[in-house]
């Protein structure tokens, strides 16, 4: 199995585990879920790396940063957690 195939498989495994962790978290705070969302993002980044999609990878990193900004703006105002 070449390096690219191993990265592809690893990306899928991390995506799967991340979605399981976000869908059924251990405690029900908003910030916990927000941090767990970064795990499937990381799996998707590995998949894009294995398929040589550089521009999409870099843009996804930036857009995910903006999405975390947007979520934090909402979470900060609820006052909890």
Partner 1 sequence: MIELETYVQIYPFALGAVFAIFLIAGYSLFREKNDLHRLLLTDLFEILVLAIIALLATDLAEALILPGMVVGISELLVISEIYIVKEKLYTNVGYHIRPQLEVMKSAPPYYTAALVLIGIILSGFLGGVVAAVGILFYLIGLGHHERFTLIETISGYAWALWVVSFLVYFILPDYWFFAIMLSATAVLVKVAAKLSLIGTMQGERHV
Is 26 or 34 the residue whose CB approaches partner 1 more closely? Answer: 34
For the record, the structure tokens of 73 come out as: 């703006």
SS3 call for 25: coil
- Give residues in contact with partner 1 (CB under 8 A): 2, 4-5, 8, 12, 15-16, 19-20, 22-24, 28, 30, 33-34, 37, 40-41, 44, 47-48, 50-56, 58-60, 62-63, 65-67, 69-71, 73-79
DSSP helix/strand/coil, 9? helix
- Using an 8 Å Cβ cutoff, are 79 and 36 in contact? no
How far from the centroid of its chain's Cα atoms is residue 61's Cα?
10
In angstroms, give the least distance from the CB of 22 to partner 1: 6
Could you tell me the smallest distance in angstroms from the CB atom of residue 15 to partner 1? 7
């Amino acid at each position: 199995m070449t390096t690219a195939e191993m990265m592809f498989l690893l990306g899928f495994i991390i995506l799967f585990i991340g979605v399981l962790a976000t869908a059924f978290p251990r405690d029900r705070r908003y910030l916990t879920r927000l941090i767990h969302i970064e795990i499937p993002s990381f799996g998707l980044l590995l998949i894009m790396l294995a398929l040589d999609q550089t521009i999409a990878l870099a843009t996804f990193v930036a857009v995910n940063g903006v999405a975390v900004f947007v979520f934090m703006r909402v979470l900060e105002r609820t006052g909890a957690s």
